[in-house]
A and B are shown apart, each in its own frame.
Chain A
Amino acid sequence: MRMKSTFQLCIRDALLFGLALQAIPATAARSVELDVQMSTPAVLTGTRQKAYVRIALTGLDVRRMRAPVNAAIVLDQSGSMSSRKIEEAKRAAIMAIDQLQEDDIVSVVTYQSTVDVLVPATKLYDREAIRRAIRGIRAGGKTALFGGVSKGARELDKFLDRNRVNTLLLLSDGLANVGPSSPGELAQLGESLGRQGISVTTIGLGLQYNEDLMTRLAMASDGNHFFVEDEGDLEAAFATEFGDVLSTVAQGVTIHIHFPKGVRPLRMVGREARISGQDVHASLNQLFRDQTRYLLLEVEVPAASAGKVQRVADVMVSYHDLMAGSQATLQGRASVTFTNSATTVEHRRNRDVMVAVASQIGVERNEVATALRDEGKIEESREAFRANSAYLNKEAEKLNDTRLKLDAVSNYEASENLDEKGWVRERKQQQELQYKTKNQRSSISKQKRD
């Protein structure tokens, strides 16, 4: 069996290479750009050492057009949503639907103790009927979140099409208390939907929702997650999400990374990935115009003599190009050169990759600090947040990066909000921050808000 799989890998390497050669002339018309970079393209000789590979995918502005949408809006209408919250949610949903065109498909599902398919999946021929249905929503009852997502997914399933952007937008302001409610179960559902090309974006409203459930559901399906403390910001969150949806250029992105013999993949930082032997498989549901999303892998490079060039990773990306309406592939590779000069190593460091590494490590440490606080170890947690802030601050100085600086500030703020009262809000904020860093999706932009 082992013999066989090694043999197969050799064949595939050859195939990959051949494909890469063929693919080069076609890249000009592509709507996605692949960039594979090492954190340290030059490494010291003599010892096995760790390095990071960043695989970045950027949506390109090749054609001013957009793919049709298949969207399900799943709204919480439980009792806690009453008065202003439900009104803002209705307004935001109507605003979002107004951005869609006649050929787009939309469905609206509401849930409380039970679930209603308010607007079954339909093209937007009769917008007024949809608006009217949404305006009629009244709050009251409990929170059957799982049922809401199930029904929303079924509505999407009716017109599931890889030429459409398939997305489910879930709004909730409370704890799921009818049906499955553990983050694990929702993540399992999210994973299944993600595999069908449906991304679930979750908006947590107020301070009562379960941020673990909402982030894990979104993460497992490669959707986005927003923490909206004040219902006045709902419209901005909906606008941001639909901004992304309407600028989707590629869908169903699968990334296969093969590591040559001797290079050992240790882990994928910040994301779930299946590592089997020398191969790593990962996927992204959507790529957006002018946005870069990346995977970060930690690898161990074998020792070698100076001057030797070691191929570290062969990357093959396959995606459905929504602009061209066809399947497309991209190849890339990364290698390191061995040197005896520490200065060269330092000099050739890739700043962008180092920033990505620092921010992902910052997230990991943030998660550790959060876990400590969850266990009630407030002092240890405070120490961990402070240490993480110091680390991010140092990296920000070294790499001259403002984003890292902001992360450092955020971690410091977290260390000051560990008391019972402040933590509820702070935890949601930190979860959202972790999410954005891990998943590189849009945040609510200030411009859209004003």
Chain B
Amino acid sequence: MKPKLIIVLVLIVITPLAIVGWLGARIVQDEQVVLEHQLRELMLGQLRAVDTVLGWSLERYEQAVLDEMRPFSLDPEELRRRSRQSPYVSQYYVLDEQGQLLFPPVGTTDDVTASERESLRRTSQIWEGGVLAGTGRVAESSGGAAAATGWHVWYWGDGIQMMLWARNGERTHAAEVNRARLLADLIADLPETDVLAPELAEGRIRLADSAGRLLYQWGSFDAGEDAQPVATLAVGPPLGAWSLHYHTSASVFGSAVTGGFLLNLAAALAVLGAAVVGLSYYFYREQSREMKEAAQRVSFVNQVSHELKTPLTNIRMYAELLERDLDEPNERSRRDLGVIISESQRLSRLIGNVLSFSRKKREALELRRKPGVVDDLLRSVLDHFRPALDAKQIEVEFKSGSGESVSVDADAVEQIVGNLISNVEKYGAEGKRMEISSRCQGDTVEITVADRGPGLPARERQRIFEPFYRVSNALTDGVGGTGMGLAISRDLARLHGGDLELTASEQGAHFRVTLECPPVDGTP
């Protein structure tokens, strides 16, 4: 009983907690998805801000180059001087309206310097393809006339190369930028290690080139070399081949949720847990109080039974002595004495059973099968109860149907049936009628005891067989009993290869006893 109770209590505690926990986890999960989405948006926003910075930075670089380009010159010496001295540009070019190079002077090899030759080799694909006149934007020149400028990007060597061009009348002036310097200037405009929005302190932003090589990074989170970015953004043109990546630890997503939400959830779980535990504890205490009371009752019955044993033994002994010493055949006295003896014997068996039951030695219930006739046994029991039944004006109807001699424990049958009759007398008296029947079917003898009393509510039907269980209603108040009768009766019936059950009925309580009673051979 006790381990079962504990399991039940544990289940009572765990089940609601588990349900609430699961629901909480689901909510956390949903919250997580929403938060992750929000964080990702936030990160993309950061990357967009970085892209804007890169755009400004590039514009400044562009302006510096344009300032160097102007005033537009066609003088080779001046263009060489600029190519030689410019920190931003590695080589200047001038094209005529047909896209033919005017500077560096290609046709006349003598005048081309070694570095110019190298530059021409680097840019040959542009001049051959004639693609420099791509889309550009229109900017206001100092003269007020509209001059188109734009970037041309091409691949050479280990990455993108950039050329800024500006249209001046029919000619196009172009400046091949010093790529390393451009990158250095862009990097100089980007943040340092720790400059990130405080809510995203655990992040790292990386700038990568067209080949995915890391150009620069910042942020305090140390992402591994091959770490997957949480958000990625392509840099705006003309650096479209470059990309920005946001890295952050998985814990940022976790901690974003834990922040307030998990705390609340944990608090709710804790309150609920405490309530459930408190409730279970209350039930446990109630239950154990009942158990204690029951145990006290057992011990009381036990003691009382012990106390009763000795006087009962004396009664039996003197009654038997009296029976032996009774000389004249006084039939009436002899019959009365017989009742005394048999009742006192039954009482001592009852006491024995109570004692053995209370010692949790149900196995000690023993059957003493002897050839007997069930109907005779029933009649005998009815005789014993007749005075009591008469007193309560209960009319008895007995339908006998088991007249053969079978192997049966008479005491057990008497005890089971006596118990059932005594219940009728106690609880079903107002029906004023009791029906007893017996039936023999092969090895099985079936006995039913039915009354017309108030009966039992459906939910009580199983529980009445539990020891010490008494239907707690007004009806039973003031009615004595150990509360062990039906439990012992059912144990005895089961021991006898059958069962004791309460069958469904329209009115009153109908008990059915089945007993395994093989017929005794040779007996008519």
Contacts and interface: CB of A to CB of B under 8 A. Distances in A.
Please give me the 5 A-B residue pairs with the lowest Cβ-Cβ distance, nearest first: A154-B188, A192-B181, A188-B180, A150-B184, A189-B180
A351 interface: no
A2 interface: yes
A281 B183 CA distance: 27
A272 B179 CA distance: 19
A116 B215 contact: no
Which of B85, B87, B113, B194 is most buried by chain A, counting CB atoms within 10 A of its CB? B87
A13 interface: no
B88 interface: yes
Contacts of A157: 188
Contacts of B218: 114-115
A66 interface: no
Interface stretch (B103-111, B351-359, B402-410): B103-111
Given A115-B192, A178-B214, A275-B114, A147 B187 contact: yes
Nearest to A114: B193
A147 B216 contact: yes
B76 interface: yes
B178 A191 contact: yes
Contacts of B222: 113, 141
Contact of A116 (B111, B179, B193): B193
Nearest to B102: A1
A329 to B, nearest CB: 16
B111 A274 contact: no
B428 interface: no
Contacts of A82: none
Contacts of B76: 1, 5
Interface string B105-124: 10010110111000000000
Interface string B203-233: 0100000000011111100100000000000
Interface string A1-28: 1100100100000000000000000000
A2 B193 contact: no
Contact of A186 (B84, B180, B204, B215): B180
Given A5-B111, A180-B180, A151 B192 contact: yes
A157 B64 CA distance: 14
A425 interface: no
B40 interface: no
A192 B180 contact: yes
A274 B187 contact: no
A117 B192 contact: yes
Interface string A147-173: 101110110010000000000000000
Interface string A171-188: 000000011101001101
Interface in B174-204: 178-181, 183-185, 187-189, 192-194, 204
Given A1-B108, A195-B85, A276 B80 contact: yes
Interface of A: 1-2, 5, 8, 113-117, 141, 144, 146-147, 149-151, 153-154, 157, 178-180, 182, 185-186, 188-189, 191-193, 195-196, 274-277, 281
Nearest to B89: A192
A191 B193 CA distance: 27
23 contacts: A113-B217, A115-B192, A115-B218, A116-B192, A116-B194, A144-B217, A146-B187, A147-B216, A149-B184, A154-B185, A178-B216, A179-B216, A185-B179, A188-B178, A188-B181, A189-B178, A189-B183, A189-B184, A191-B178, A192-B181, A193-B87, A196-B87, A274-B115
A137 to B, nearest CB: 13
Contacts of B97: none
Contact of A1 (B84, B111, B158, B187): B111
Contact of B179 (A113, A151, A188, A281): A188
B161 to A, nearest CB: 11
Contact of A192 (B77, B105, B178, B204): B178
A215 B80 CA distance: 26
A277 B110 contact: yes
Contacts of B217: 113-114, 144, 147, 178
Nearest to A267: B114
A179 B209 CA distance: 10
B211 to A, nearest CB: 12
B188 A150 contact: yes
A390 to B, nearest CB: 32
B86 interface: yes
Contacts of A151: 187-188, 192
Nearest to A118: B192
Contacts of A188: 90, 178-181
A1 to B, nearest CB: 6
Contacts of A178: 214, 216-217
Interface in B74-103: 76-77, 80, 84-88, 90
Contact of A276 (B86, B111, B214, B215): B111
A195 B89 CA distance: 10
B111 A275 contact: no
Contacts of A2: 108, 110-111
B215 A179 contact: yes
A176 to B, nearest CB: 11
Given A141-B222, A147-B216, A195-B86, A185 B192 contact: no
Given A179-B187, A192-B181, A195-B85, 16 more contacts: A1-B108, A5-B77, A116-B192, A116-B194, A146-B215, A146-B216, A147-B187, A149-B184, A150-B216, A154-B188, A185-B180, A188-B181, A192-B87, A274-B115, A277-B110, A281-B84
Contacts of A146: 183-184, 187, 215-216
Which of B90, B184, B215, B222 is most buried by chain A, counting CB atoms within 10 A of its CB? B184
Nearest to A140: B222
B283 to A, nearest CB: 59
A117 B183 CA distance: 18
Nearest to A109: B192
A189 B158 CA distance: 15
Interface in B311-351: none
Given A116-B194, A178-B217, A188-B178, A150 B185 contact: yes
A312 to B, nearest CB: 20
A186 B158 CA distance: 13
A117 B193 CA distance: 9
Contacts of B77: 5, 8
A229 to B, nearest CB: 29
Contacts of A147: 187, 216-217
Which of A2, A5, A180, A196 is most buried by chain B, counting CB atoms within 10 A of its CB? A180
A186 B222 CA distance: 25
Which of B86, B111, B216 is most buried by chain A, counting CB atoms within 10 A of its CB? B216
A182 to B, nearest CB: 7
A162 to B, nearest CB: 13
A249 to B, nearest CB: 22
A276 B80 CA distance: 9
